[in-house]
Structure formats: C-alpha cells, structure tokens
Structure 1
Amino acid sequence: MSAEIRKLAVFVEEVHSEMGQAVSPPTRKAAAVAVIRNPFAGRYVADLQPLFDIGAELGGLLGRKCVEALGISPSQAESYGKAAMVGEDGELEHAAAILHPTMGKPLREAVERGAALVPSSKKRGGPGQVLDIPLGHKDAAYVRSHFDGVEVWLNDSPRPGEIMVAVAVTDSGRPLARVGGLKTNEIEGRDGLR
C-alpha cells in the first residue's frame, strides 16, 4: 500500500544567538511532515502490515526532504527523530505501526548510517495540535549535546481520518551545549551508544 498524501510541509530552524551569545555556525534543524489518509480510521484491523509499508516509504521521503532542506550531504546529518499523530478516528497503534517496524532503515539511508535508535513519539490529536519530535545523535546515543527536540504543527492536520507523520534531522547539536557526555569527536559509531 502506498501512502495517500494530502499535504507535505518542510520547516527549517536556524539559531544564530542564544542568551546573548553568538552561535557560529548556527545550529540548524529541519522537519518534514506528511499528512496521510489513515486506511484503518474508525475500525479495528488486526494486521497493520500496510502501515509498516507506508512507514518505510515515508522514512526515506521525509528523511531526504530534511537533508535537502538543510542543504547538506547525508553524511553531514548529525541527529534525527520521528513522530506521528493520529486523528481522533485513529488508534495509537496506527502511529506505532508507521514509526517502528520499517521506517528506520530508509531514514538511516537518507542520513547515511545511523547506528543509534531513532527517538520517537506518538500521540492522538487534532488540527493545530503540536507534535513533538525527539532528537538524538544518529550514531551514538550517549552524545548529550544532541538530546533535543523540535515541534511541528499544521493548522488543519490531522483531521479525524488522517495521520500526521514527521521526521526531523539536524546538522548540529543544541546551541552552546555544555552538560558533558560523549563528544562528537569521540564517537565510535559501532553499538549505537558510543
């Protein structure tokens, strides 16, 4: 099953200054959002395989859109995350089915590598509600400078029979990060932790 996309949106945030301190180069985050028809809205379906397939399709599409919006090569992506919000006629498991079984592999291909788990969140909501996308370093979960998040919302999404699916990618960590942890130049990138 292919995703029936009603709307795509891409956002880029750049931070140039924080607490009166210059951030150079600016930290940048991109988020890409797809609003799709929920094929199972309003009814219980035991086999959610079609949503697994949609997750794989959207992982690659949205990951590539983020990398393109940042104007970087896939190898320059540093952190990533994913999230989904089902409309009121959907089931929370519909969001999980899109996010978990198959979305990770094509997203990792879009950002080149990705040894660490992709942070995720899922919720039920309606038009205009905020969807939080958690972020973590793509190759090493212990890089605290990249524990972050980004919010997205669309004034008309998700409608009752829709799912809003989002991916975020950054080319840096938080601005002025200074809480310790593994540094990016210390990453081994083998086990997803260090």
Structure 2
Amino acid sequence: MSPLVIRKLVTVVDEVLIEMGQQVSPPTRRAAAMAVIANPFAGRFEVDLNDLIERGTELGRLLTEKAVGALGIAPEMVESYGKAAIVGEAGEIEHAAAILHPKLGSPMRAALGGGAALVPSAKKRGRVGSVIDVPLGHRNAAYVRSHFDAMEVGIADAPRAREILVVVVVTDSGRPLPRVGGLTKDAILGQDGLR
C-alpha cells in the first residue's frame, strides 16, 4: 500500500446565533474537518481499490478528532455526523465510495465513543473549488428530525484533478429552532440506530 499523502487539512466551524430574527440559545454549531489527499488511482481504471479503502481508516479517526476538537467539546457530546468526498476530474466516483463506505465509519464512531445510526454520506466528481453538501443525521437515531441537516463545504484550491477532498462533519446540536415534530433526541430508544 502506498503512503497516505495529505496536501492540506482545513477545519471550519459554523455557528448560528440568530435565525429569522430569533436568538438561537445555545447557538447551533457544526464543524467540518477536510483533508485533500492524493488519489493513487487518478487517470486509470483499477479493479482493486484496497489502497483507498484503507485510507478511510486513517482519515476517519484523524478528521473526526479534528472536527470534535474544533467544537471544543467531549466526543460523547457530538449529536450528529456526516461524511462526504469530492473526487478530482481524473478520478471516478467509486474512488470516493472506497474511502467513505467500507472503513471510514468505524473509526469515526470509535473517536466519538459510539454511534448507532448509519453515517449519512455524499460523493461527487468536481473541479477545483467545487463544494458539496455533507448530509447530517443524529448519531444514535436516524429518525430524529431536528437533526436532518447538511453543511456545505469546499476548499478554494481543491480538489485538483488527481486529488480527493474528504470531509467529516460533526455537530453539538440539531438545526436552529427545529419545529417540524417527530422523534426528539430526549425520546431516543437507542436500540436499532433508527429510533
């Protein structure tokens, strides 16, 4: 396996204090940690994607720890999470899937001390400066409507054609001023990752 090559790490915190003229207290906060990595399969078709699959293990822990650190909270205080990747033009969507799906979720959960729900994800191919909406859901119960959300992220100089931009987002809350009903976080049963 070739070594993981990270060109850049970027962490962003989004904090909402006022929504539609209403004070949000406490503020809702989302943090995205992003890594711009070299794509070892750029420009060619490869059947065996294990080199990228193993990257998910390394990046899952690294990016989750950076995002949690940016919020300045204990890992167990994270309420929702999501992941995404943008593949540069010389790559293919399956390269993003290889990083995100087989092995990135387990180290995310380990860094948070658990998480029963699937980690929502998104992937696409894009050029330098492309953005992506990282879908978010409650980490222990996917049906908690107040935590259905997304965070748009991107980096001005990434991904270059032979790179992949990998993103992990964590939050300390749901959306600002949620009021569409459904399962609330204080009513989570914690049995199946859904409720």
1:189 matched to 2:193? The reply is no
When the two structures are superposed, what TM-score results if normalisation uses the length of structure 1? 0.98
Q: Tell me the residue number matched to 1:147.
A: 148
Q: In the TM superposition, what is the alpha-carbon distance from 1:131 to its structure 2 partner? A: 1.4
Given that residues 60 and 110 in structure 1 are in contact (C-alpha distance below 8 angstroms), is that contact kept between their aligned partners in structure 2? yes
1:46 alignment partner in structure 2: 47
Deviations 1:90-145 (A, max 9, x none): 01100000000000000011222110000000000011111111000000000000
Corresponding residue SS for 1:158: coil
Q: How does 1:92-171 map to 2 (within 5 A)?
A: 92-171=93-172
- 1:153 shift after superposition: 1.1
Cα deviation for residue 190 of structure 1 reads 2.0
Please list every run of at least 4 consecutive aligned residues from structure 1 whose deviation after the TM superposition is greater than 3 angstroms: none
| Alignment correspondent of 1:58 | 59
SS of residue paired to 1:178: coil
For the Cα contact (< 8 Å) 1:67–1:110, is it kept in 2?
no
Corresponding residue for 1:30?
31
| Cross-structure match for 1:73 | 74
1:170 deviates by 0.1
Q: Deviations over 1:20-39 (max 9, x none)?
A: 11000000000000000000
Query: TM-score when scaled to structure 2?
Result: 0.98
**1:16 and 1:26 in contact (8 A); partners too:** yes
Whether the aligned pair in 2 keeps the contact of 1:118 and 1:136 (CA below 8 Å) is yes
d(CA) in 1 for partners of 2:65, 2:86: 21
One-letter code aligned to 1:188: L
For residue 17 of structure 1, what is the aligned residue in structure 2? 18
Task: Output the aligned Cα RMSD.
Answer: 0.7
Q: For structure 2, which runs of at least 5 residues remain unmatched after alignment?
A: none
User: How far off its partner does 1:58 sit?
Assistant: 0.3
Asked if structure 2 preserves the Cα contact closer than 8 Å seen for 1:59 and 1:104, the reply is yes
**Structure 1: gaps (5+ residues):** none
Q: Distance in 1 between matches of 2:48 and 2:82?
A: 26
